[in-house]
Amino acid sequence: MKAPVLILGATSDIGRAIAHCFAAQGHPIQLAARQVNRLESDKADLEIRYGVPVSVHEFDVLAVETHADFVQQLPELPAIVVCVVGFMPAQKACEQNLPLALEVMRTNYEGPALILSVFANLFEKRGWGTLVGISSVAGERGRASNYFYGSAKAGFTAFLSGLRQRLAKSGVQVLTVLPGYVNTRMTEGMNLPPLLTAQPKEVAKAIFAAIAKKKDVIYVRPSWRWIMVIIRCIPEPLFKRLAL
């Protein structure tokens, strides 16, 4: 049997798509989320549909003091850990509610970085494994429309880059995923451009392929790479006048 895959943030649309993608290839699945009761139906579906063992686990990315215990209680140390955890309320709400802004920054950077650090130490000692962090193109340049979320994702992207360099000679792969827009519950109600908007299944397939090819960084839709090159190159005096 293939090695297990752990999905952190498994109740998300992308998390569910990743679970199906890997289960379809025969991987046992470990589903982890804060609301663990919501995972039971997913567990049953995956087991029946693909005939693989599935376990569910309570996980709160913000309760960093519980991270080590969470890892210890897993039935088996996974081969692949995918962190899909994310939180993106409206920018204006964060500006007026600083505790909410703090939650955004901790959920998108602090918590994911620290839980992946726990696995990084274990994988490094073992000498193999894959760590996947889903970051965002929003982290490539701060914009007025989402700079709390974007700054947290910028930190997470930098963390993954440094972790990748640290583990480069250890046999551990670190993959940074930059999806761009994705049609999920988190983006519901937003006016998303179809040509730049991926579906959760598309993200899952891109991750699966990138792991197999030992990629370091992927843009799910390649056009995002060039869009972000342009945005990063806009001079600051001009950038300040743009509505982005």
Domain boundaries, the chain: 5-239
Q: Give the 3-state secondary structure percentages of the chain, helix then strand then coil, rounded to 5.
A: 55, 15, 30
Q: How large is the average pLDDT for residues 156-181?
A: 97
- Taking only the tens place, the pLDDT of each residue in 93-131 is 999 999 999 999 999 999 999 999 999 999 999 999 999
Using 50, 70 and 90 to split pLDDT, how confident is the model at 57? very high
Note the pLDDT of residue 184.
Answer: 84
Q: 169 phi and psi, to 5 degrees?
A: -100, 10
Q: How large is the average pLDDT for residues 17-29?
A: 98
- Token pair listed for 29: 């699945």
What top-level class would CATH report for the domain 5-239? Answer: alpha beta
Residue with tokens 């009761």: 37
Q: What is the value of pTM for the model shown?
A: 0.94
- Taking only the tens place, the pLDDT of each residue in 24-55 is 999 999 999 999 999 999 999 999 999 999 99
Note the pLDDT of residue 235.
Answer: 96
The catalytically annotated residue of 109, 149, 181, 219 is 149
Q: How large is the average pLDDT for residues 171-179?
A: 97
Query: Which secondary-structure segment (H or E) carries 98?
Result: helix 98-105
Q: Is the pLDDT of residue 179 over 90?
A: yes
Give catalytic status of residue 109 as yes or no.
no
- Mean pLDDT for the chain overall: 96
Residues sharing a CB contact under 8 Å with residue 49, sequence separation 6 or more, in sequence order: 20, 23
